[in-house]
Structure formats: C-alpha cells, structure tokens
Amino acid sequence: QVQLVESGGGSVQSGGSLRLACAASGYTGSTYCMGWFRQAPGKEREGVAVIDSDGSRSYADSVKGRFTISQDNTKNTVYLQMNSLKPEDTAMYYCAADFAYGYCSVSWWHKAYEYNYWGQGTQVTVSS
C-alpha cells in the first residue's frame, strides 16, 4: 500500500523560508509524477509544483522563482523548498502522487483529481 508522509510545515514571517518533505513508501515501480498541492480555507486545492521520474518539473505561476521542487530517489523523498514566502502562501500543503502515466503532463499536472495518492497534509502559515 502506497503511503505519503509530509513533514516540514510551520509558521514563518513574510520573506522567510521553509522546506517541506514527502516520503513515499509502498511503491515498487520506477515511474511517477509526484508533487505538492495546497488548499487555503474556503478555496479549492491548487497545484503548486510537481516532478516526475525523469526529473521534469512544473510550477504554478504564483510560485515560480520562489519555490523549488527536488527529489532524492535514494530516500524516495520529494522536497519543496519555499523561499520568499508571502502571506498568500498560507495553506495546508499536501503531497500527491500518480503512478499511472510515469510523467507529469502539462495538461493535467495541476488537477487534483488526477492523483490517486495523498498525504495527510502539513500546515504552512506565513505572517505579515
């Protein structure tokens, strides 16, 4: 059974940094699309950044230049380095994974319903 466990959330002031980690277990394949979504109260879940097994990355326009997604295949872990954080980045951040296609398509990577596996979420709060 696939499990995704997030860590690294917390509270930080505007302009600060945080690094999130998502450790995956239970998957024996080698191709995937994994990444991060976030959901603020009263808003829809939105795609933040994803990375696939070939190392291709996609980012939401709102985080380009500030967030970096990376992976450590030896640890089955995906990271999200978040710099220059803004109050509008405040949300619950969720790790997500899809193993059906082995890549993150430009057409659907940001659509939450495309992902079969989710972590429990980690809260990120940015104060002004």
With a cut of 90, say whether residue 36 has pLDDT above it.
Answer: yes
How far is 87 from 57, CA to CA, in rounded Å? 24
What would the pLDDT profile of 106-121 be if each residue is shown by its tens digit? 899 999 999 999 999 9
Check pLDDT > 90 for residue 27. Answer: no
pLDDT at 43 over 90: yes
- pLDDT tens digit sequence for 58-108: 999 999 999 999 999 888 999 999 999 999 999 999 999 998 888 999 899
CA separation (Å) from 24 to 81, 90, 112, 124, 126?
17, 24, 18, 20, 26
Mean pLDDT of the chain: 95
Question: What pLDDT sits at residue 30?
Answer: 83
* pLDDT at residue 73, as a whole number: 86
Q: What percent of the chain has pLDDT over 70?
A: 100
